[in-house]
Amino acid sequence: MTVIETHVQDGKPAIGGPVLEASGVIMRFGGLTAVNNVDMIVREGEIVGLIGPNGAGKTTFFNCLTGMYKPTEGTVKLAGQVIPPKPRAVVVAGMSRTFQNIRLFGNMTALENVMVGRYCRTSSLALTSILRGPKFRREEEATRARAQELLDFVGLGKSTELLARNMPYGDQRRLEIARALATDPKVILLDEPTAGMNPRETEQAKQLVFKIRDSGLAVVVIEHDMRFIFSLCDRVLCLVRGELLIEGSPAEVQSDPRVIEAYIGGSELGDEEDA
């Protein structure tokens, strides 16, 4: 699937069948249960938010989904197939992610950073790469073209030759998303994509997520900015102490008294910028 295409019906993005399914995921560290029997289904063309207080297990759950951790119990399926808990296998299967702390190659250009993400879809062997044979040159040209296309898609088309470390913070966040998209995912997981952003950058991030969703991809977002989450997502899951407290529409979750109590101790969620 090319990310530049859109899949919209009657003015609204079409929600497809399940693409990501987590069943009974448990993650224990010694005697500590960080994630306790969490289920989640994400459908094609859907944005799902994951919220909860600090220490609720959100990033640990992300790590279980993406092969960073091997769950103590439970299964993770992508497009109906169980995927092994190995990061490369997860990426090749069609799931990519960004991180709460930006992980770019600072001394590489924006284009080179995106090209790195694309190499999981190339097939040149080591000898061909060393000798720079015809197949390598064809794949390298295609990789470069696709990387430029994705930079254009996220609004960084004029930053191709900039070193990542010299780019503004908000642009670095978008660059990391472009690199994740370069893997040709079916679903992309964003861990606090607006952390540290100003209001203008946050709005740009929201529009970019909508654009990704409109291309037909599924998106899962961890975020502390409640205005961002509730204005963005089709469904929201709230974790508390590693357990799923509630799953529902943004309106349902926002108004649930248990969420209000667990999350910010009684204030209205929509009034909090960073809960």
Is residue 219 one of the residues assigned to a domain?
Answer: yes
Distance (Å, whole) CA 20 – CA 162:
35
pLDDT on residue 268: 45
The number of domains in the chain is 2
Give the pLDDT of the chain (275 residues) as one tens digit per residue: 444 444 444 455 667 889 999 999 999 999 999 999 999 999 999 999 999 988 899 999 999 999 999 999 999 999 999 998 899 999 999 999 999 888 899 999 999 999 998 887 676 544 454 556 666 677 888 999 999 999 999 999 999 999 999 999 999 999 999 999 999 999 999 999 998 889 999 999 999 999 999 998 999 999 888 899 999 999 999 999 999 999 999 999 999 999 888 765 544 454 443 33
pLDDT on residue 127: 42
Last residue of a domain, one of 184, 202, 232: 184
Do 82 and 190 fall into the same domain?
Answer: yes
Tokens 């090209």 belong to which residue? Answer: 115
CB-based burial, 207-231: b 16+ in 10 Å, e otherwise = ebbebbbbbbbbbbbbbbbbbbbbe
Do 40 and 157 fall into the same domain?
Answer: no
pLDDT on residue 222: 94
Do 64 and 142 fall into the same domain?
Answer: no
Do 78 and 190 fall into the same domain?
Answer: yes
Is residue 99 one of the residues assigned to a domain?
Answer: no
Q: At 139, which amino acid appears? A: E
- Per-residue tokens: 133: 């044979």
Q: Which domain holds residue 132?
A: 104-184
Distance (Å, whole) CA 38 – CA 21:
11
Cα 192 to chain centroid distance, Å, stands at: 9
- Per-residue tokens: 209: 């997520």
Q: Phi first, then psi: what are they for 106, rounded to 5°? A: -60, -35
Q: 9 to each of 13, 14, 45, how far by Cα in Å?
A: 6, 6, 11
Last residue of a domain, one of 161, 184, 207: 184
CATH of the domain at 213: 3.40.50.300
Last residue of a domain, one of 184, 216, 246: 184
pLDDT on residue 123: 63
Q: Are 165 and 106 a contacting pair, CB within 8 Å?
A: yes
Query: Could you tell me which residues come within 8 angstroms of residue 220 by beta carbon, excluding any fewer than 6 positions away?
Result: 20, 42, 47, 48, 49, 50, 62, 65, 187, 188, 189, 190
Is residue 141 one of the residues assigned to a domain?
Answer: yes
pLDDT on residue 134: 64
pLDDT on residue 135: 65
- Per-residue tokens: 264: 């910010």
